[in-house]
Amino acid sequence: MLRISVLVSGGGTNLQALLDAQNNGILQSGRISQVISSNKAAYAIERAKRANIPVEVVEKDSDFEANILAALGKVKPEIIILAGFMYILSKDFIERCGAKIVNIHPSLIPSFCGLGFYGLRVHEAVLKSGVKVTGATVHLVNEIPDGGEILAQKSIAIHDSDTPEKLQRRVMEECEWQILPRAVENLCREIAPKIFSQKYPGRGIIIGKSPSGKIALAYFIMGRSASSRARIFEKSGDEVIIKLTGAKDIDSSLILYAPLRVFGGKIIVTNGDQTDTICEFLNNGSSFEEALRTREYEPDAPHYTPRISGIIESGNFFKLNILKRENAKCVRNFYEYEFDSGFGRFIHTYDHDVNSWEKLPSFDGEPRLVRIPDNIDEFANLLWNEALDRDNKVSLYVRYYDDARNYHDRIFNNYGGE
């Protein structure tokens, strides 16, 4: 369950819509854990108290954003909702808060939005312009006022009898209170790790940053055959290797490899011997991309398991890749992400569960957005004990960096004589 902090300045009807949605089950993947009001007289505070939600009042002064961050620190929310919050937050705040910020705006963005457009002013401008429809927009907050990615919109027709006040009320009732809770529920579902629901995602790589900015990575292997399950992860210096437990007479080329190597300060994580290809290419002054252009998916017909790879080349961004078979050709998808504190990207080999005799479908679409907590044990336990299927999981490795050199790590092995 994700934690949600709601920032308010006034009446709090949008907060009420969220509280109601929590009671009637529309909002179920997140919990409102805190309300922060910029105004000690806001009626929103009464609404929060009635619902037994802790309230913080942070009034506008010179340390406004620092004080909001301190209040948020008590809850460490994954999502912050601006529900009638009448201030614009700085880029610095957005980067440091470690959460996704959602805003509700009472117009159809990109019309009637940005600096100066708030509250009743929006509806006055709408009526003055003569447009025939208006509505509301739920969007993610970035450094541009009302400029982030749109999550949901709803429109209504403008009536001849509308005044700014009447229009404000109708936009709230018919648009804002309808779309805000649903958009928040969708966002909660999107950022909660999706592996929970899949019994056999295969092998998976997660790279990201914790809310406090620690680089985090995880790699897991799952397996269904006896040989696949006879494996353990082992540390070898700063690297991770896979070993077989017991003498097993098997073709080991696809199941024994180094999942994690460190080369020239770069961290490489993969599900096969392409780890070594990447290191060789880096050693020759070539790139991650050039290395993977020489490789393709695994030859294990009929599945043709994708090869997945990741590299952390600096503290600012990371790359992921998948080599997969489509129409008997190799598709090479490369992804590059700026680190986003509190979040990571998750790529795995098999897209969804199928019956045991069917071909396993290759991972499809963009690496999924997942939440990365601050505590390595919280993350490792979430993956090992909750997300990964008890029988299919084989090994998990998790590493959190304190700085460029120092890290903590955790290894879990399911089989293999422990």
Interaction site with ligand GAR (CB under 6 A) = 8, 10-14, 44, 83-84, 104-106, 118-119, 122, 172, 176
Q: Which residue has the tokens 């009464």?
A: 46
CA distance 228 to 234: 15
Segment 241-249 long-range contacts (CB within 8 Å, at least 24 positions apart): 242/395, 245/415, 245/416, 245/417, 246/416, 246/417
Q: Is the separation of the CB atoms in 32 and 49 below 8 Å?
A: no
Q: How far is the CB of 12 from ligand GAR (least distance, A)?
A: 5
Q: How far is the CB of 15 from ligand GAR (least distance, A)?
A: 6
Instruction: Identify which of residues 138 and 347 has a Cβ nearer to ligand GAR in the complex.
Output: 138
Q: How far is the CB of 41 from ligand GAR (least distance, A)?
A: 12
The phi, psi pair for 233, rounded to 5°, reads: -85, 145
Q: How far is the CB of 171 from ligand GAR (least distance, A)?
A: 7
What residue number has its CB nearest to ligand GAR?
84
Alpha carbon 157 to its chain's center? 36
CA distance 113 to 32: 27
Which residues is 334 bridged to in the sheet? 321
Q: How far is the CB of 265 from ligand GAR (least distance, A)?
A: 44
Instruction: Identify which of residues 180 and 383 has a Cβ nearer to ligand GAR in the complex.
Output: 180
Q: Nearest CA to 7 among 26, 149, 60, 50?
A: 60
Q: How far is the CB of 201 from ligand GAR (least distance, A)?
A: 39
Q: Is 105 a catalytic residue?
A: yes
Q: Which of 105, 123, 139, 348 is catalytic?
A: 105
Cα 138-140-143 angle, rounded to 5 deg: 130
Instruction: Identify which of residues 180 and 255 has a Cβ nearer to ligand GAR in the complex.
Output: 180
Instruction: Identify which of residues 44 and 320 has a Cβ nearer to ligand GAR in the complex.
Output: 44
Instruction: Identify which of residues 11 and 361 has a Cβ nearer to ligand GAR in the complex.
Output: 11
Instruction: Identify which of residues 38 and 271 has a Cβ nearer to ligand GAR in the complex.
Output: 38
What is the token pair recorded at 224?
A: 């269904």
Tell me the three state secondary structure of residue 292: helix
Q: Is the separation of the CB atoms in 320 and 314 below 8 Å?
A: no
The phi, psi pair for 68, rounded to 5°, reads: -65, -40
Q: Indicate which residues carry an active-site annotation.
A: 105
